[in-house]
Chains A and B, each alone.
Chain A
Amino acid sequence: MMKNKPDEEDYWNSSKFKAFTFDDEDDEFSRLKESKQAVNSIRSLVEEEDDEDEVEKVSWSGEPVGSISWSVRETAASNQKTQREHAFPKINASSPSVSRSHSGYSLSSLFKGDDWSPEETIHRMQQGKVVSLERFRSLQDKLLLLDFSVRAHDGNIITAVILFTLTSIIRVLFRELESRQTALRHFIHYLTEIRDHRLLLELLSKRRDFLKSCLNLPFSPEESAHVQDHYTLLERQIIIEATDRLAEHAGKVEIFQKFPRRASILNMPLITTLYYCCFYHYNEPEGTYSSPLNIRHTFRISEKQYFVTVLAARAKLKAWSDLDALFTSRNWLGFTKKKSPLSFHRVVDILQKNSAPTQVLQEYVGLVDDADLRIGLAQKHKCHDIVINTYRDLKDRQLLLGYRGKVERGSAEERKINDLLDSPVRKRRNYDHHHHYQHVT
């Protein structure tokens, strides 16, 4: 049945386990057919062996049908056929010998006559022709072969030469590869791909300088410090996770009831862990493992990083008073001032993304140093007071008039603007916009 186009597309897009069938055959029928085929397959496999060889024109060995090499293979295959007929169905026993006959690089027994030079051999391998690598038995020959493969810039062949001629002399291989970087990198990539960690480690244990450039493993002391930190973090996470899971199950701690944990904290990055602790354990004394302050000190977290994380976590909980305390610092005279290692316009941005109320936004917008940026933010977040006060300070009637159109009719803001517009021109006051937010406690 021809399916129409949309159906085909649908098919390709889905990756369901169940397969698409062209013919909706009856289940029973197909099962019957299946068992029949299973029975027949033993015979057909044997019989079709010849046919397949004959039509397999685009193959590794690439020999045209009817050529000498083809007929040699033909004979070999028919010999094996007789062997296999006895062996069937014990396919395990016979398959290695069968495989030999197809393998382009282990046919030496059939091609004793060829005496290609190393260079020619590499060339023939590139063309997918049959070669015999077992002929190259001396180390010098093997290395010559390797060097020619590197010169041919063909990674497929480089790996093949290492694999088929050199792994038999693995100790020597390590030594010889040191001076052959390209080949070494192919070998390492191959080991990575087949996931042979034993050999990789052996290579690694040599810890030679040149290896550092091609192995993706950290070596420097600075990097081991990161790994050490990670270990400490994991220990922490295990303790915190165990305690919190209990607390959550017991149902006695309010925050876990209100904001159930979405995932385990295990294996999370440090900052995610800090965020988690700012969220669930913010007010704990510094002595506990889960106290944000403790984490900050243990892992030498920068002030800015710490502020950003606390800000994000407490804003998420809408704990605005915590933020107030976070940003407030007191000088020696007892005056307090809002300070932040993060620029205040960034703070506003984070607050706004956590849908902070205008009242809160207003406070932080007011702390933005740059006047243009401040006005822009104030307008964006509808912090009318700031806009109005700034225009008042600029003594710009036009701007005030314009802004009156933007505030709600009959609101306190509109009245404020009207008052300002009505009041007689005042002398410019020396008005420091920072001063406005400083309060004495």
Chain B
Amino acid sequence: MAHSGRRDSPELPDFSLLKRLARDQLIYLLEQLPGKKDLFIEADLMSPLDRIANVSTLKQHEVDKLYKVEYKPIISTSDQVCFLIRPRIQTVKWICDVANADKAAGKFRRYKIIFTPQKFYACEAVLEEQGLFGDVTTDEWAFYLLPLDDDIISLELPEFFRDNFLAGDQRWVRTVGSALHLLHSIYGPFSKIYGIGRCAKMAYESWKEQVEEGDTKARQAEIGNAFLIDRDVDYITPLCSQVVYEGLVDDIFRIKCGCVEFGHDVTSSDKSVKVMLNSQDKVFSEIRNEHFSNVFSFLSQKARNLQTAYDKRRGMDIKQMKTFVSEELKGLKQEHRLLSLHIGACESIMKKKTKQDFQELLKTEHSLLEGFEIRECISFIEEHINRQVSMIESLRLLCLLSITENGLLPKDFRALKAQYLQSYGVDHLLTFANLRQLGLLVEQQPGETLTVMESKVGKLVNDKTAGKLTDAFSSLAKKSHFRALSRKLNLVPKSDEEYDLRVPRDMAYIFSGAYIPLSCKLIEQVLERDSWTGLEEVTKLLNGHEFAFTGSNGADLRAKSDAQRIILVMFLGGCTFSEISALRFLGRERGYKFIVVTTAITNSSRLIEALLGNKV
């Protein structure tokens, strides 16, 4: 739809090469295991695998039967079995059980584990411990990056978030560094790298080390700059309800690996359909970034146009009809199918949202962001909990309240926590411990203690020699300063002004004009200044860890090519579709093209679910 902004945005690099590379490597690995074999695939690798290869590819390389890893005894009769898995100890343990059961039954087979994207020593240690090292051989499939769309690349590692931010396990840091290295060696060299966050800094260092190890060939860069950002720099944005079409579809139907399953309430038949949601879908690509309130009118206009196009065939002679059928009809039918699906999806979204009082929910979120009528917000959340509405939604609102208010008053914290445990079960004590550890849901410390503590921590953060101690205090240091940040960066536009969602004037449109996503605002500011200069106060409020480095060969390439306006943004710990929409908007305004690389697509439910402690 009508968007202002520059027209001369540069072309995106072709990322299908990444798929080809991954496929070729997989084929190579399968060829290492000559003869027929059964392949066991970990459940969360099925969709990514599906995007780069198909059953006939596997079949051509003598894969006989395919199974999903289900942690049950296997029934394969093949004498060669291959396991395609993530490097997880529990999965390796299961494979050991399988191999040991075979041994006990006197059955002999060859076992091969292909770890992707890499092996971990701890996994191999399990094999050694069980006396199976060597009987079970291992390999690595360096499938780091899956292009989900022209401008979205995912590592498909949702566990990155919990492992890194909650468990403090840095196992994926090198993986991220390698992924960046891969992009750099194919589409680089980057002329500049900016970043913020502890993990981003570590990933940068890992990447740099890998660049120094390998030999770089001089080539024409296709990507100019890169920006790395940790998810914990901005928790507010992923906790907000999404109202841009693609985000809303993700919130409600859950987009999985670029694909969504629409149930019978959408298709209005008894079948559900799986639909790929990307730029290939001509209807979707026009509405994905739109505020939901615009989508209806767009779709009905589109439906009218379609009707007119169909109507054309009236009064046609045979020859014209023939041309119509051969040239236009197929396209029209396709469009018809897509239109009816998205209209169905909209209806279903409307129904669900009306039922759960979405309007009031949004009002509460916006009040929290503005810091307005907090008491009403608290009582809204309390009622939400009292009515046992949704375990996840209640936590989401509590976290939003805590981050925006810089912690809850002790009285409120205790009351809300007690009611939460009463409503959803006492095992959520662990959930609360997790949320506290991440600084997502905390109790305000009495005034003075806080400032003393703060200055101490602040000192430590700046003191390089006290690195170890900084770690110990990191949870304390993660104090939220949302209000101050919001003021400094103008994140919350004045509410008395009318905001025309049809003609968005800034990135706030993705949240109905109520809030500019902090993550995207930071990116905008740094790109504008070409450095962090002038943002010192902001980075201080974000607990530091910002960096900017110029590549060795950046200077001479600068400003010469379009590549300088292609910017890779890497989210460590996940990014939301709303953020992607905001960046696309920013790109249109400033003549950039953003490529979003993320460890996984996330949203509020996924983020909270990753921190639940009640199931462990």
CB of A12 within 8 A of CB of B79, answer no
Which residues does chain A contribute within 8 Å of B64, judged by CB atoms? Answer: 21-22
Which residues does chain A contribute within 8 Å of B75, judged by CB atoms? Answer: 17, 19
> What separation, in Å, do the CA atoms of A265 and B103 have in the docked complex?
44
> What separation, in Å, do the CA atoms of A58 and B386 have in the docked complex?
56
B456 part of interface (Cβ distance < 8 Å): no
What distance in Å separates the Cβ of B211 from its nearest Cβ neighbour in chain A?
Answer: 14
A105 part of interface (Cβ distance < 8 Å): yes
Complex interface: stretch among B117-125, B143-151, B520-528: B117-125
Q: Would you list which residues of chain A between 28 and 58 have a CB under 8 Å from chain B?
A: 30, 34, 37-38, 41-42, 45, 48, 51-52, 55-56, 58
A441 part of interface (Cβ distance < 8 Å): no
> What separation, in Å, do the CA atoms of A302 and B47 have in the docked complex?
47
CB of B122 within 8 A of CB of A153, answer no
Complex interface: stretch among A268-276, A402-410, A422-430: A268-276
What distance in Å separates the Cβ of A7 from its nearest Cβ neighbour in chain B?
Answer: 8
Q: Which of A42, A153, A305 has the most CB of B within 10 A?
A: A153
Which residues does chain A contribute within 8 Å of B169, judged by CB atoms? Answer: 155, 159, 185-186, 189
Which residues does chain A contribute within 8 Å of B388, judged by CB atoms? Answer: 269, 271-272
> What separation, in Å, do the CA atoms of A188 and B108 have in the docked complex?
36
CB of A99 within 8 A of CB of B122, answer no
A91: nearest residue on chain B (CB-CB)?
B103
For B, the interface residue count at a CB cutoff of 8 angstroms equals 93
Chain A 114-142: CB-based contact to B (< 8 A → 1; otherwise 0): 00000000000111100000000000000
B102: nearest residue on chain A (CB-CB)?
A91
CB of B387 within 8 A of CB of A308, answer yes
B425 part of interface (Cβ distance < 8 Å): yes
Q: Would you list which residues of chain B between 396 and 455 have a CB under 8 Å from chain A?
A: 414-415, 418-419, 421-426, 429-430, 433-434, 437
CB of A153 within 8 A of CB of B468, answer no
What distance in Å separates the Cβ of A64 from its nearest Cβ neighbour in chain B?
Answer: 15
> What separation, in Å, do the CA atoms of A105 and B389 have in the docked complex?
53
CB of B133 within 8 A of CB of A299, answer no
B32: nearest residue on chain A (CB-CB)?
A55
A180: nearest residue on chain B (CB-CB)?
B468
Q: Known: A95-B134, A227-B426. Is A153-B174 also a contact (CB below 8 A)?
A: yes
Which residues does chain B contribute within 8 Å of A15, judged by CB atoms? Answer: 43, 68, 70
CB of B108 within 8 A of CB of A164, answer no
The residue that B414 contacts in the complex, of A99, A222, A268, with Cβ under 8 A, is A222
CB of B56 within 8 A of CB of A2, answer yes
The residue that A30 contacts in the complex, of B77, B122, B424, B426, with Cβ under 8 A, is B77
Which residues does chain B contribute within 8 Å of A2, judged by CB atoms? Answer: 56
The residue that B170 contacts in the complex, of A95, A158, A222, A312, with Cβ under 8 A, is A158
B610 part of interface (Cβ distance < 8 Å): no
Which residues does chain A contribute within 8 Å of B132, judged by CB atoms? Answer: 95, 99
CB of A153 within 8 A of CB of B50, answer no
Which residues does chain A contribute within 8 Å of B9, judged by CB atoms? Answer: none
What distance in Å separates the Cβ of A269 from its nearest Cβ neighbour in chain B?
Answer: 4
CB of B121 within 8 A of CB of A226, answer no
What distance in Å separates the Cβ of B42 from its nearest Cβ neighbour in chain A?
Answer: 12
What distance in Å separates the Cβ of A47 from its nearest Cβ neighbour in chain B?
Answer: 12
What distance in Å separates the Cβ of A70 from its nearest Cβ neighbour in chain B?
Answer: 16
Which residues does chain B contribute within 8 Å of A101, judged by CB atoms? Answer: 134
What distance in Å separates the Cβ of A14 from its nearest Cβ neighbour in chain B?
Answer: 9
Which residues does chain B contribute within 8 Å of A159, judged by CB atoms? Answer: 120-122, 169, 171
Q: Known: A153-B174, A153-B202, A269-B422. Is A19-B65 also a contact (CB below 8 A)?
A: yes
Which residues does chain B contribute within 8 Å of A96, judged by CB atoms? Answer: 131
A82 part of interface (Cβ distance < 8 Å): no
> What separation, in Å, do the CA atoms of A301 and B422 have in the docked complex?
9
CB of A270 within 8 A of CB of B128, answer no
Which residues does chain B contribute within 8 Å of A30, judged by CB atoms? Answer: 77
Q: Which of B103, B109, B163, B471 has the most CB of A within 10 A?
A: B471
> What separation, in Å, do the CA atoms of A407 and B472 have in the docked complex?
69
CB of A305 within 8 A of CB of B422, answer yes
A217: nearest residue on chain B (CB-CB)?
B433
> What separation, in Å, do the CA atoms of A15 and B67 have in the docked complex?
8
CB of A11 within 8 A of CB of B55, answer yes
What distance in Å separates the Cβ of A317 from its nearest Cβ neighbour in chain B?
Answer: 17
A107 part of interface (Cβ distance < 8 Å): no
B140: nearest residue on chain A (CB-CB)?
A58
CB of B170 within 8 A of CB of A186, answer yes
B213 part of interface (Cβ distance < 8 Å): yes
CB of B107 within 8 A of CB of A92, answer no
B167 part of interface (Cβ distance < 8 Å): yes
CB of A218 within 8 A of CB of B131, answer no
What distance in Å separates the Cβ of A342 from its nearest Cβ neighbour in chain B?
Answer: 7
CB of A45 within 8 A of CB of B108, answer yes
Q: Known: A153-B173, A154-B170. Is A56-B137 also a contact (CB below 8 A)?
A: yes
A42: nearest residue on chain B (CB-CB)?
B108
A210 part of interface (Cβ distance < 8 Å): yes
B118: nearest residue on chain A (CB-CB)?
A156
Q: Would you list which residues of chain A between 256 and 290 have a CB under 8 Å from chain B?
A: 268-272
What distance in Å separates the Cβ of B65 from its nearest Cβ neighbour in chain A?
Answer: 4
A146 part of interface (Cβ distance < 8 Å): no
B3 part of interface (Cβ distance < 8 Å): no
The residue that A60 contacts in the complex, of B65, B103, B119, B134, with Cβ under 8 A, is B119
CB of A99 within 8 A of CB of B46, answer no
A163 part of interface (Cβ distance < 8 Å): yes
A13 part of interface (Cβ distance < 8 Å): yes
Chain A 140-163: CB-based contact to B (< 8 A → 1; otherwise 0): 000000000000111111111001
Which residues does chain B contribute within 8 Å of A305, judged by CB atoms? Answer: 386, 419, 422-423
B232 part of interface (Cβ distance < 8 Å): no
What distance in Å separates the Cβ of B417 from its nearest Cβ neighbour in chain A?
Answer: 8
Q: Which of B118, B121, B171, B383 has the most CB of A within 10 A?
A: B121
B304 part of interface (Cβ distance < 8 Å): no
Q: Known: A38-B107, A164-B121, A181-B471. Is A20-B419 also a contact (CB below 8 A)?
A: no
CB of B131 within 8 A of CB of A194, answer no
The residue that B429 contacts in the complex, of A227, A268, A269, with Cβ under 8 A, is A227
- A153-B174, A230-B426 known; 14 new pairs, CB 8 Å cut-off, are A2-B56, A12-B47, A19-B65, A30-B77, A37-B79, A41-B108, A41-B110, A59-B139, A92-B103, A95-B132, A156-B121, A188-B167, A214-B168, A304-B382
CB pairs A–B below 8 angstroms (7 shown): A160-B121, A185-B169, A192-B167, A216-B437, A217-B430, A223-B429, A233-B426
